[in-house]
């Protein structure tokens, strides 16, 4: 429809290709022959243990998150009790905390020299570690706890809106047929939320599968740490690719489950009136139980870690506030801004392709460009390394052959590759966000504009873009937050001497120097939290 026909159809595919090329390269590489025998060695020794650890981690986090999220979502959506309105939004705040920061806080609180064990020792008169048993936080169970505390909001948010979206009349009908509120919950509300639960749990499972920092810090060996180690320590890209492909396989299962459940969820979702008018008023022990559970979760997952960070940040403020901190903050900030801006451009390109020529081609373009969203950071890092190191090698070879001097690792050794990796991972967020806000713009507006003599480009500029301003802003902010927090990709791909806030924090985390990690960690949290609040305001005003 635009005069420059070819360009307008080629661009979205070029962009999509850029985003999926690394993943294709990864799968391709994984099937190539491994001469070093490293992978065979891994199979013979530790791969089974690593896989089982990953499996147990996922199962543990999924179960514990479910136990955390289900009651609070129900309290907040369907019941009435004091502080409900605060909890309603506060319970999603833990999303702003990177798990490895929560992990270091809990390690500090719970290890031998931490306040909890000191208190117990002084209370019971124990002298040394052999006098008593205290569970070690730096273990698989500890990792499960930490990840559940930070990941449960995914399920909480989906469940809450599922409960709110259910027709109140159904619940009333169940009550009128003689069911107690609790029985009605288990026989009506919960079954109706099945797909929301499946979607939430598969998201949590994907995040757990991809977690690197927490398990690495707790010295729990999983597939992600295996990828990291084989690349950084053994230097075998092929082996790393093979392990990564194992994770991709698990992801395919999870994504299929998620997509299937999302489709089913639409059947149960219903717009219009909500549950609100018939909230179940909690009294007596029920009220206190709900309060105790919800607030314990909020304190454990958010308030306590945040306060601890504040305490250390203030105590070591002058030591932490230095030129390096300033530099790394700027690094993180600009990197996140660039990635967010590019992700927005990509999202606009593929979404307007779909808007202008809807059909199976455009649909697959959107699907493919969103493929990277669930892929763990370590895997994406390995994936982008494969094509770009090859391109660098080829380039240098060519240059030498034609008598020029080498340029070094022009792509894989610079910020370029880091930006690409971030885009592979986070473009999906922007694509999805633009997709849903564009879907709210009635197609008849486009047709009206066209019938009033405006061509496709004018229609986009005068009608579509002004109407998705909020969607564009929230897409940018969401990608910004993710890019600020991202650790494993940055650890693996950052150019020499380049630090982001996250890698800076993680150095201190690895060295167990929480007092110096606190201030930069707080910066990450705040830079995530503020935009997060803005986005939520935007989304609430939009509906």
Partner 1 sequence: MSALVVNKLSCFYQDNQVLESLDLELENNEIICLLGESGCGKTTLLKAVAGLQTKLSGEVKINGKTVNDNGVNVAPEKRKVGLIFQDYALFPHLNVFDNVAFSLSQYSKEEKKKRVDDVLALVRLCDYAQRFPHQLSGGQQQRIAIARALAYQPDLMLLDEPFSNLDHHVRFQLIHEIRELLKVRSMSALFVTHSKEEGFAFADKIALMQAGKIVQIGSAQNLYSHPKSKYVADFMGQSNYLKVCVKDKYSYQSDLGLLTSNTLIEFETGKALNLLLRPEQIAIETAVNGLGTVKQVDFLGAYQQITVSYQNNDYRIKQSNHFGDCMQFKVGDKVTLSVLSHDFVVFTQ
- Minimum distance of partner 1 from residue 5's CB (angstroms): 12
Nearer to partner 1 by Cβ, of 357 and 390: the residue is 357
Q: Is the distance from CB of 159 to CB of 196 less than 8 angstroms?
A: yes
Nearer to partner 1 by Cβ, of 447 and 533: the residue is 447
Which distant-in-sequence residues (6+ apart) come within 8 Å of 373 by Cβ?
Answer: 425, 426, 427, 428, 429, 432
With H, G, I as helix, E, B as strand and everything else as coil, classify residue 280: strand
Q: Is the distance from CB of 402 to CB of 484 less than 8 angstroms?
A: no
Task: Tell the burial category of 502 from Cβ atoms under 10 Å away from its Cβ (0-12, 13-18, 19+).
Answer: buried
- Minimum distance of partner 1 from residue 450's CB (angstroms): 4
Nearest alpha-carbon partner for 195 in 260, 114, 283, 127: 260
Nearer to partner 1 by Cβ, of 125 and 453: the residue is 453
Nearer to partner 1 by Cβ, of 368 and 467: the residue is 467
Nearer to partner 1 by Cβ, of 461 and 537: the residue is 461
Q: What is the spatial distance between Cα 124 and Cα 132, in angstroms, rounded to a whole number?
A: 10
Which distant-in-sequence residues (6+ apart) come within 8 Å of 498 by Cβ?
Answer: 331, 415
Which pair of structure tokens corresponds to residue 246? 């194992």
- Minimum distance of partner 1 from residue 267's CB (angstroms): 22
Nearer to partner 1 by Cβ, of 2 and 120: the residue is 2
- Minimum distance of partner 1 from residue 466's CB (angstroms): 5
User: In this structure, what are the phi and psi dihedrals at residue 269, rounded to the nearest 5 degrees?
Assistant: -75, 150
Question: Which run of H or E residues covers position 540?
Answer: helix 514-542
- Minimum distance of partner 1 from residue 454's CB (angstroms): 6
* C-alpha of 173 from chain center: 39
**Secondary structure (DSSP) of 76-126:** HHHEE-TTHHHHHHHTTGGGGS-HHHHHHHHHHHHSTTSHHHHHHHHHHT-
- Minimum distance of partner 1 from residue 443's CB (angstroms): 9
- Minimum distance of partner 1 from residue 464's CB (angstroms): 10
Going by their DSSP bridges, the two strands 79-80 and 280-281 should be labelled as parallel
Site of interaction with partner 1 (CB under 8 A): 1, 442, 444-445, 447-455, 462-463, 466-467
Question: Which run of H or E residues covers position 37?
Answer: none
Nearer to partner 1 by Cβ, of 83 and 442: the residue is 442
Q: Is the distance from CB of 79 to CB of 279 less than 8 angstroms?
A: yes
Nearer to partner 1 by Cβ, of 406 and 461: the residue is 461
- Minimum distance of partner 1 from residue 328's CB (angstroms): 40
Nearer to partner 1 by Cβ, of 274 and 357: the residue is 357
- Minimum distance of partner 1 from residue 365's CB (angstroms): 19
């Amino acid at each position: 429809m635009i005069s420059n026909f070819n360009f307008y159809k080629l661009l979205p595919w070029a962009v999509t290709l850029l985003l999926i090329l690394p993943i294709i390269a990864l799968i391709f590489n994984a099937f190539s022959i491994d001469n070093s025998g490293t992978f065979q060695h891994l199979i013979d020794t530790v791969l089974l243990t690593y896989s089982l650890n990953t499996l147990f981690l996922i199962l543990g986090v999924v179960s514990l998150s479910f136990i955390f999220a289900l009651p609070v979502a129900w309290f907040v959506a369907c019941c009435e009790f004091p502080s409900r309105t605060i909890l309603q939004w506060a319970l999603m705040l833990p999303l702003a905390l990177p798990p490895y920061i929560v992990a270091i806080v809990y390690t500090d609180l719970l290890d031998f020299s931490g306040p909890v064990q000191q208190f117990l020792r002084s209370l019971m008169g124990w002298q040394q570690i052999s006098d008593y048993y205290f569970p070690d936080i730096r273990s698989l169970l500890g990792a499960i706890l930490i990840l559940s505390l930070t990941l449960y909001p995914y399920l909480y948010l989906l469940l809450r809106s599922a409960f709110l979206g259910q027709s109140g009349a159904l619940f009333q009908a169940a009550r009128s047929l003689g069911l107690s509120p609790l029985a009605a919950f288990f026989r009506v509300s919960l079954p109706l939320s099945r797909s929301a639960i499946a979607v939430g749990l598969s998201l949590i499972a994907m995040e757990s599968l991809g977690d690197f920092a927490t398990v690495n810090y707790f010295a729990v060996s999983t597939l992600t740490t295996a990828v990291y180690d084989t690349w950084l320590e053994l230097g075998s890209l092929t082996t790393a690719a093979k392990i990564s492909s194992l994770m991709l396989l698990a992801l395919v299962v999870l994504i299929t489950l998620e997509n299937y459940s999302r489709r089913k969820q639409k059947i149960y979702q219903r717009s219009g009136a909500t549950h609100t008018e018939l909230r179940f008023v909690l009294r007596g022990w029920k009220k206190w139980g709900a309060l105790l559970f919800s607030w314990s979760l909020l304190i454990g997952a958010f308030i306590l870690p945040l306060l601890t960070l504040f305490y250390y940040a203030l105590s070591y403020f002058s030591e932490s506030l230095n030129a390096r901190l300033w530099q790394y903050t700027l690094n993180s900030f600009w990197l996140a801004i660039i990635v967010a801006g590019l992700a927005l451009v990509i999202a606009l390109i593929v979404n307007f392709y779909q808007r202008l020529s809807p059909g199976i081609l455009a649909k697959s373009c959107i699907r493919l460009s969103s493929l990277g969203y669930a892929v763990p950071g370590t895997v994406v890092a390995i994936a982008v390394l494969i094509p770009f190191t090859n391109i660098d090698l080829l380039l240098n070879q060519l240059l030498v052959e034609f008598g020029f001097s080498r340029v070094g690792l022009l792509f894989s050794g610079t910020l370029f590759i880091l930006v690409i990796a971030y885009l592979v991972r986070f473009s999906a967020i922007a694509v999805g966000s633009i997709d849903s806000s564009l879907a709210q713009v009635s197609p008849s507006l486009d047709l009206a504009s066209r019938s009033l003599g405006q061509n496709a480009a004018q229609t986009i500029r005068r009608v579509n873009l002004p109407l998705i301003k909020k969607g564009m802003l929230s897409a940018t902010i969401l990608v910004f937050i993710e890019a600020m927090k991202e650790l494993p990709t940055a650890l693996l791909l950052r150019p020499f001497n380049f630090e982001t806030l996250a890698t800076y924090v993680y150095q201190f985390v690895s060295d167990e120097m929480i007092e110096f990690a606190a201030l930069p960690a707080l910066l990450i949290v705040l830079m995530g939290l503020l935009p997060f609040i803005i986005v939520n305001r935007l989304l609430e005003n939009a509906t």
